[in-house]
Structure 1
């Protein structure tokens, strides 16, 4: 089984609208969380050793720069971690307004 870690970005969505879009296409509800490490409010689904999703702003809370410095034009980031359905999720995330920025397989 191939496990992938994917990064998606959205240029034209706000944090809340990104969450609503992803919830709609996945049919799952995200949990709101707050962490200075994640830059304030962010949204999470899943976790532990299983597949997980994190939606957050692309702003480093300490210096204001982009968290993902290779993609400063993307306001909202979506991390999909430890997934074995990367290909299927890419089309679904496109429907939610996200573009695949990075795909890593381990």
Structure 2
């Protein structure tokens, strides 16, 4: 079963979170720009395989948090279609809080 996980990072600098994720998971994000994603965001992977998106928790349309249940986390890390949820959680460490864990067939 593939997992879709959401992590929150309490630091205010997305570049700090980016560096930590890249170091701990041994990959490099690609910087992207999208109004829909709230401006600058970072992506690794995609398609039908495991992917990661790192972005701010601000909705560009109304200025409210994208994840309204988690307004105390200014930085979000989405981990989609992963088969190694527990491994990623362990590698990310205590700086990243698992906010949501969903399983899909």
TM-score by length of 1: 0.95
Distance in structure 1 (CA, Å) of the matches to 2:93 and 2:61: 30
Please show how residues 1-106 of structure 1 align to structure 2 within 5 Å: 2-94=1-93, 97-106=95-104
SS state of the match for residue 78, structure 2? strand
Superposed CA RMSD: 0.9
Deviation digits for residues 49-85 of structure 1 (CA, Å, limit 9, x no counterpart): 0000000000000111000000000000000000000
Unaligned runs of 5+ in 1: none
Distance in structure 2 (CA, Å) of the matches to 1:62 and 1:22: 27
Shift of 1:93: 1.6
Shift of 1:91: 1.1
Shift of 1:12: 1.9
**Total equivalences in the alignment:** 104
Structure 1 runs of 4+ off > 3 angstroms?
none
Distance in structure 2 (CA, Å) of the matches to 1:37 and 1:22: 23
TM-score by length of 2: 0.96
